[in-house]
Structure formats: C-alpha cells, structure tokens
Amino acid sequence: MNIPITRPIREIKEDTLETTIFTLQDFMTYTKGITYIIMGGILVFMPLFWKFLTDGEDD
C-alpha cells in the first residue's frame, strides 16, 4: 500500500486496520497478543494429550 508520509500516524493506522507496525510497542502488542491466544490453545490441548497418553494405564 502506498502511504503518503505527510499523513498523521493515527490516520494511517485507521486506514490500514491497525496492521501496519510502526513501533516496537506495536510489534510486541501484536505478537504477544497472537502468542497468548496460541498459549490458550496449548493449555487446553496438552492436558487432553496427556489424558490420551496415559488413558487405560494401570501403573
């Protein structure tokens, strides 16, 4: 996307639906947000996987 550099950053962010990353703060917020969602999935999956692994064991 061709973004004119004279426009305010807030306006550009609104136009690009917040996907353009300008600062380290933006980057960390974005990547950590995705990572937390993945972590949530892992927290649900791993106990189920453990149950699958140990199901029916007598020792």
Partner 1 sequence: MDLDNQIPENKKFTVFNVVTGIILAGGLVLTVLRFTMGLGTVTNLDNTNPWGIWIGFDLLCGVALAAGGYVTSASCYIFGLKRFHLAVRPAILTAFLGYALVVLALHYDVGRPWRLPYPVFYSQGTSSLLFEVGLCVFLYLTVLLIEYSPAAMEWLGFKKLRNWVVKLTLLLTIFGVILSTLHQSSLGALFMIVPSKLHPLWYSSYLPVYFFISSMFAGMSMVIFEGSLAHRYLKYKMDETHLKESSGVAFGFAKAASLVMMGYFFIKIIGLSIGNNWHYLFTSWGLWFLLELIGFVLFPAILYAVGSREKNLVLVRLAAIWTVLGIMLNRLNISVVAFNWHLPSAQRYYPSFMEIATSVFIVTLGIVVYKFIVTRMPILHEHPDYKAH
The reply on whether position 24 binds partner 1 by CB under 8 A is no
Residues 47 and 55: their CA atoms lie apart, in Å, by 12
H or E element, residue 31? helix 24-54
Determine which residue in the list 16, 18, 22, 34 makes contact with partner 1, applying CB under 8 A.
Answer: 34
Residues 7 and 32: their CA atoms lie apart, in Å, by 28
Identity of the residue, 3 or 34, whose beta carbon is nearer to partner 1 in the bound complex: 34
Determine which residue in the list 3, 27, 29, 40 makes contact with partner 1, applying CB under 8 A.
Answer: 27
The reply on whether position 44 binds partner 1 by CB under 8 A is no
